[in-house]
Amino acid sequence: MCGIFFYMGNKYNLENLLLDYNKILCRGPDKSKIIDLDNKIFVFHRLSINDLSDNGMQPFIIDNIYLICNGEIYNHKILKKEYDIETTSDSDCEVIIHLYKLCGIEKTCQLLDGVFAFVLYDKNTDKLFAARDPYGVRPLFMGNNEEKELFISSELKSISDKCKVVDQFNHGSYLEYKKNDIFMIKKYYNNNYKIDPLRSEEFILNCIKNKLTKAVKKRLLSDRPIGALLSGGLDSSLISGIICKIYKELNMKNQLKTFSIGMKGATDLDYAKSVSDYIGSEHHTIECTEQEFLDAIPEVIYNIESYDITTVRASVGNYLVAKYIKENTDIVVLFNGDGSDEQSGYYYLRNAPHKDEFHNECLKLLDEIKYYDVLRSDRSVSSKWSLEARTPFLDKEFVEFYMSIDPKLKMYNATKIEKYLLRKAFEKENIIPEKVLWRPKEAFSDGCSSETRSWHKIIQEYVDLIITDNEFNENKYKFKKNPPLNKESYWYRKIFESHYPGKGDIIPHYWLPNWSDVKDPSARELS
């Protein structure tokens, strides 16, 4: 996890942009480097993960080709061997320049196995490129000012003030910017998953187990200490359990540090402790008060750059646990269980009337994940606390296989539990307690509070005290894009607009469940 910033134009110089590009300094607090090349400014804020030496510092400059990249390329050693590439560093990102020279930009993006957002400038041809990984795990924003000058950054906050229009860079796409302000954005990755209805259940279960394990193993690539978020739910528990199993198989003496957070009486805390005891991790339980959760909301909204109800609620716990990790440990890399729900796990998917609609909804969730859960996964832990999130469930190979499974086999109802195949795949592995393996889904934003006093109800009670009916009714329609649904969403939007005025288009819509009349996205409301 690093911070990248790029500007192409003549209106501003380094001094004019200092306050802007330093707004993302927390993404890369270890070292910064700036290159001012004609009318192009490259800024790189480094969080050192691989190759801690100065050789791994960016921008990389090779044969008049410039690269700044926030990402991890997990197959970089394989690519170097396959294409006979010699690098000047042990950085996993340097391989991007060499591949570009050999294969061009589109094939380069297709060859990369990892998460990334990068800007590449080829001085030889005067062409500029930018690209983002297949699911948008690493953030990237692009904007223009009134002079139509180009800004690209890891976060909205560093370009919001300078740009009239800002958009999230689309996942699985690359930008090619040529002379005379001619540019195109093209998809290099299409999620046209070919469903195979003829596979046996045994084959499917083995593939799920092996591909998820492989996804975790490749993400252990790090020269810095590793930890894991552990809510006590299925997904985070599986990831933590797999890490501990890999450590044992490799005879590594590493003891995984795991972290859970919640209010007094939170259901997640007990489950997380039982998982920790079972897998042998060094566990940290962080218990916070209702007020500490509430007080964090304005900071969360600024850092995740969203006013979406579900995303804000879910990000508060991640933000507070990241704060604890930053202040009390040497952990830099943080595993999580995000990305699994989008592939078949949300509670409301049980209402899908047909397997095709079930599958299409999962496709939609994956397509839009960069607007929602990725914010919780990335920016709630990185924007302020300088931690790098790793998300094995969004591994390209795993997703491609899981989404190719006949959706009929992934559907569930009142008699069949969600994520049945995922649970069944690890049933005989004994890597987590059985009661957790078969624990019904409970959203993190619900599980962080007690069953008798839910997090969303705590927020709504608080909002009723600080937002009057008159204020809400008089102001709710002044926002043309995504007008607030209730006082809670109005409060979030009010905070968001104080930091990012006029940038409400940054999310397409509020995250709400399909096939339901429920207006609150809480899983407890849905159940």
**Over pLDDT 90: what percentage of the chain?**
86
Tell me, yes or no, whether 169 and 234 share the same domain.
Answer: no
Number of domains making up the chain: 2
- Could you read off the pLDDT of 12-24 as tens digits, one per residue? 999 999 999 999 9
Tell me, yes or no, whether 295 and 424 share the same domain.
Answer: yes
Instruction: Assign residue 166 the CATH number of its domain.
Output: 3.60.20.10
Tell me, yes or no, whether 122 and 217 share the same domain.
Answer: no
Residue ranges making up the domain that contains 415: 201-459
> Lowest-pLDDT range, 177-191, 261-275, 351-365?
177-191
- 497, part of any domain: no
- 127, part of any domain: yes
Provide mean pLDDT across the span 371-387.
Answer: 93
What pLDDT was estimated at residue 22? Answer: 97
**Distance (Å, whole) CA 17 – CA 283:** 42
The residue from 2, 26, 93, 163 that is catalytic is: 2
On average, the pLDDT of the chain sits at 94
Which residues are bridge partners to 6 per DSSP?
42, 152
- Could you read off the pLDDT of 110-149 as tens digits, one per residue? 999 999 999 999 999 999 999 999 999 999 999 999 999 9
Confidence of residue 445 (pLDDT cuts 50, 70, 90): low
Contacts of 278 (CB under 8 A, 6+ apart): 241, 432, 433
pTM of the model: 0.95
36, 15 Cβ separation under 8 angstroms: no
What pLDDT was estimated at residue 291? Answer: 97
What pLDDT was estimated at residue 447? Answer: 78
**Distance (Å, whole) CA 12 – CA 63:** 27
Tell me, yes or no, whether 103 and 247 share the same domain.
Answer: no
Which one of 187, 210, 245 terminates a domain? 187
> Lowest-pLDDT range, 32-36, 302-306, 410-414?
410-414
Which one of 157, 187, 217 terminates a domain? 187
- Could you read off the pLDDT of 173-185 as tens digits, one per residue? 999 988 666 788 9
Catalytic status, residue 109: no
Provide the pairing of β-strand 114-122 with 141-144.
Answer: unpaired
The span from the first CA to the last CA of the chain, in angstroms, equals: 37
Tell me, yes or no, whether 159 and 236 share the same domain.
Answer: no
228, 257 Cβ separation under 8 angstroms: yes
Instruction: Assign residue 285 the CATH number of its domain.
Output: 3.40.50.620
**Distance (Å, whole) CA 191 – CA 510:** 23
Tell me, yes or no, whether 167 and 234 share the same domain.
Answer: no
178, 125 Cβ separation under 8 angstroms: no
pLDDT at 527 over 60: no
What pLDDT was estimated at residue 522? Answer: 65
Which has more pLDDT, 59 or 524?
59
- 464, part of any domain: no
- 467, part of any domain: no
- Could you read off the pLDDT of 453-496 as tens digits, one per residue? 899 999 999 999 999 999 999 998 899 999 998 999 999 999 99
Tell me, yes or no, whether 240 and 340 share the same domain.
Answer: yes
Provide mean pLDDT across the span 195-223.
Answer: 95
Structure tokens at 446: 């619900």
What pLDDT was estimated at residue 183? Answer: 81
- 465, part of any domain: no
**Distance (Å, whole) CA 395 – CA 343:** 12
What pLDDT was estimated at residue 252? Answer: 86
Distances (CA, A) of 312 to 170, 466, 511: 22, 18, 11
> Exposure of 163 by Cβ count < 10 A (0-12 exposed, 13-18 middle, 19+ buried)?
buried
Confidence of residue 102 (pLDDT cuts 50, 70, 90): very high
Instruction: Give the max Cα distance, the chain.
Output: 68
Q: How many CA atoms lie within 13 A of 406 on its CB side?
A: 10
Tell me, yes or no, whether 334 and 449 share the same domain.
Answer: yes
